[in-house]
């Protein structure tokens, strides 16, 4: 299957700083990437849909000024957590689907990033 | 907001036992249902994508069925092995191709 690389896998940062997480599709072009967040013992919650060359679409309740998403190329999307606070500590994971409109096209996931804000 | 539910939340079975778990979802506006297997420290791995009512898919000892009219899918594992231990996620595909996930079933197969 296709490969999506996400890094860093773990990051610890100080409160008030910003953290950038990268998601790359290594062997296919991803016109759309999705960013999810997982709280302990809960399901993956969609944060935003990242579209190459245009603004991301954020889910209700997700602050777009806090979680900056950039999808500048067909193989790279970044999520920047700005002015991080301890409540932003969570597991973040990206997924990408190939450039196809087939609704049944499978999504490929990165390995996830465990963010801890101290 | 789509509500995808999985049960049970966790499950322990003995090696060699067969097991199954459930994914429930709203039956209206159905596009596709995905099953993923997620092992610790790895990326979720796609198992099946199903779109048609009555679909049955199989991969080795793992199979899945789909009932879109009543809004459920079953995942079956025959003759469970310790390497089957993982969290199994189902997800509903939306019109914008985003996935709405259930909270997963954590399976532990005891040797």
With pLDDT > 90 as the criterion, what percentage of chain B qualifies?
81
Judged by a CB distance cut-off of 8 A, whether residue B41 touches chain A is yes
Query: How far are the Cα atoms of A65, A107, A117, B66 from residue B46, in angstroms, in the given order?
Result: 32, 7, 31, 16
Mean per-residue pLDDT of chain B:
92
Residue B67 has pLDDT above 70, yes or no: yes
Residue A94 has pLDDT above 70, yes or no: yes
Please tell me the predicted confidence (pLDDT) of residue A104. Answer: 60
Spell out which residues of chain B touch residue A109, defining contact as CB-CB under 8 Å: 36, 43-44
Residue A112 has pLDDT above 90, yes or no: yes
Please tell me the predicted confidence (pLDDT) of residue B31. Answer: 87
Please tell me the predicted confidence (pLDDT) of residue A102. Answer: 61
Interval A39-49 mean pLDDT = 87
Mean per-residue pLDDT of chain A:
89
Spell out which residues of chain B touch residue A42, defining contact as CB-CB under 8 Å: 103
For A22-36, the pLDDT digits (tens) are 999 998 888 789 999
**Residue B6 contacts residue A41 (beta carbons within 8 Å):** no
Interface residue of A44, A54, A101 to substitute, partner B, most B CBs within 10 Å? A44
Interval B49-73 mean pLDDT = 95
For A69-92, the pLDDT digits (tens) are 998 888 999 999 999 999 999 999
**Residue A79 contacts residue A110 (beta carbons within 8 Å):** no
E strand residue ranges, chain A: 4-7, 10-13, 19-25, 32-38, 44-51, 57-58, 67-73, 76-81, 90-97, 108-109, 113-117
Interface residue of B35, B44, B89, B95 to substitute, partner A, most A CBs within 10 Å? B44
Please tell me the predicted confidence (pLDDT) of residue B93. Answer: 85
Partner-chain residue, chosen from B4, B42, B104, that has the shortest CB–CB distance to A111: B42
Whether A111 sits inside 8 A of B102 (CB atoms) is no
Least confident of A13-22, A74-83, A92-101: A92-101
Interval B39-60 mean pLDDT = 92
Interval B15-35 mean pLDDT = 92
């Amino acid at each position: 299957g296709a490969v999506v690389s996400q890094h860093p896998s773990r990051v610890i940062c100080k409160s008030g700083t910003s953290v950038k997480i990268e998601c790359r599709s290594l062997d296919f072009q991803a016109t759309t990437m999705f960013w999810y967040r997982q709280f302990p013992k809960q399901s993956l919650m969609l944060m935003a849909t990242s579209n190459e060359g245009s603004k991301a679409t954020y889910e209700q309740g997700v602050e777009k000024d806090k979680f900056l998403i950039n999808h500048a190329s067909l193989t790279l999307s970044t999520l920047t957590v700005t002015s991080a606070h301890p409540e932003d500590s969570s597991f973040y994971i990206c997924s990408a689907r190939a450039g196809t409109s087939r609704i049944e096209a499978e999504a490929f996931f990165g390995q996830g990033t465990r963010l801890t804000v101290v | 907001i789509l509500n995808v539910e999985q049960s049970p939340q966790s499950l322990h079975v003995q090696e060699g036992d067969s097991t199954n778990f459930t994914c429930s979802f709203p039956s209206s506006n159905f596009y596709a249902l995905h099953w993923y297997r997620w092992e610790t420290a790895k990326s979720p791995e796609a198992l099946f994508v199903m779109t048609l009512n009555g679909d049955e898919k199989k991969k080795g000892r793992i199979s899945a069925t789909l009932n879109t009219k009543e809004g459920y899918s079953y995942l079956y594992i025959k003759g469970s092995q310790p390497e089957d231990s993982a969290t199994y996620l189902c997800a509903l595909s939306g019109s914008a191709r985003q996935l709405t996930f259930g909270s997963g079933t954590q399976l532990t197969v005891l040797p």
